[in-house]
Amino acid sequence: MELEEVKRSENNLDKDAYFVKNESVMTSALDVITAMSTTKRIVLKAKGDLIPNAVAVANIVTENMLKGNSKIQDIKLDSIISEEDGQMISNIVIVLIKN
């Protein structure tokens, strides 16, 4: 398996990005459903302790709310070392598309 480098750019944020916050998973899922009503593609992004929430949101949207009408197109995992304290922080990007 070949690893591919993930390009990071703080200035070029994806216009369809949804950053998972520390709130109810169902609230986040409803926000994603609302966003998907205007676009066919949404990119869930989370880091650290919020990664399980992002996975739960993706599963709720694709398996329950839009079952058969949406799917997970891509999942990318990455880790970076924080410049502040030198700790490793994991990141996830989940791309959801509506059929």
pLDDT of residue 16: 87
> In terms of pTM, does the model score above 0.85?
no
What the block records as the tokens of 66 is 């839009």
Q: What is the DSSP letter of 61?
A: I
Alpha carbon distance 14, 56 (integer Å): 21
Q: What is the per-residue pLDDT for 3?
A: 54
The pLDDT assigned to 1 comes to: 47
The pLDDT value given to residue 42: 95
Low-confidence ranges of the chain (pLDDT < 70): 1-14
- Tokens of residue 86, six digits: 């030198």
Q: Supply the pLDDT for residue 9.
A: 46
Please tell me the predicted confidence (pLDDT) of residue 11. Answer: 41
Sign of CA dihedral 4, 79, 64, 14: negative
User: What residue spans define the domains of the chain?
Assistant: 17-98
Separation CA 84–CA 69 (nearest Å): 42
Fold observed for domain 17-98: Translation Initiation Factor IF3 (3.30.110)
